[in-house]
Amino acid sequence: MCWRRRHAAVHQLAKHLPAFHAQYPKVTIELVAPGPVESLDEAFDVTILSVARRPLDGDFVARRLAKSEVITCASPAYLDRRGRPEHPDELAGHDAMMPAFLRELSFTRGVVGDDEPVGDIVTLVPPRPVLGTTHIDMLYAAALHGLGIAGLPSFVAEDALREGALERVLPQWRLFEARLYAAMPTRKHVPARTRAFVDFLVQAFGGEDRDPWLIAAGCETRPAAQ
């Protein structure tokens, strides 16, 4: 089996592997994790696709795993010291951590889905970051140690949110969201081990258009107030 998505593999897949191995002790996993992947690689049994603004398209079979939001987080110690912003505009007075190449940040307010209208959108010129890096785990570690407010995928922040080591900032607002799929090449005969692995992933992550990691942490994005 192969899985392609580095941060999700480290923060999520690894914790579920013992349960999969207990169910299927003869199946081994070969992991290749270069980063977010938007198209299928037929060299692999399973490719985890991260799809944001475009519809899922291609000659493959895909099963929905979950939705993941990018949210703002900080340590309770930092927020106790610097205050808890209530609107994205207030981030200008905080220490921000983000990729240095970003030229703007767009926050969307509330839940957006088939039955929900598009919420308010606030676009900001990001403040000069106290830490600028594309290394997500570096942003995560620095946020844990109180350096500032970071934008993190929910599947990275989940454990720290559940343990109280990180706190969600601006819980009605999100930066970005992506839908995760397990994709397999279109083949007449899919190995039983591949089907078993994909079934396991769907069960582990819910298989719905919801964010299971924010739900588990008790900080799912709140609907916008009417």
For residue range 83-106, list pLDDT tens digits in order: 999 999 999 999 999 887 778 889
> How many whole angstroms separate alpha carbon 40 and alpha carbon 61?
10
Q: What is the pTM of this model?
A: 0.85
Is residue 108 located within the same domain as residue 132?
yes
Task: Tell the residue number behind the tokens 């081990």, with chain if given.
Answer: 193
Is residue 113 located within the same domain as residue 203?
no
CATH code of the domain in which 117 resides:
3.40.190.290
Is residue 61 located within the same domain as residue 112?
no
The answer to whether 126 and 96 have CB atoms below 8 angstroms apart is yes
Residue ranges making up the domain that contains 149: 68-176
> How many whole angstroms separate alpha carbon 102 and alpha carbon 97?
11
* Residue 81 maps to a domain: yes
* Residue 217 maps to a domain: no
pLDDT, tens digit, 9 for 90 and up, residues 6-55: 677 888 888 999 999 999 999 988 887 765 555 666 778 888 888 876 76
The pair of three-digit structure tokens given for residue 112, joined into one six-digit string: 């957006």
Give the strand pairing for 149-153 and 60-74. antiparallel
Q: What total of structural domains would you count in the chain?
A: 2
CATH code of the domain in which 17 resides:
3.40.190.10
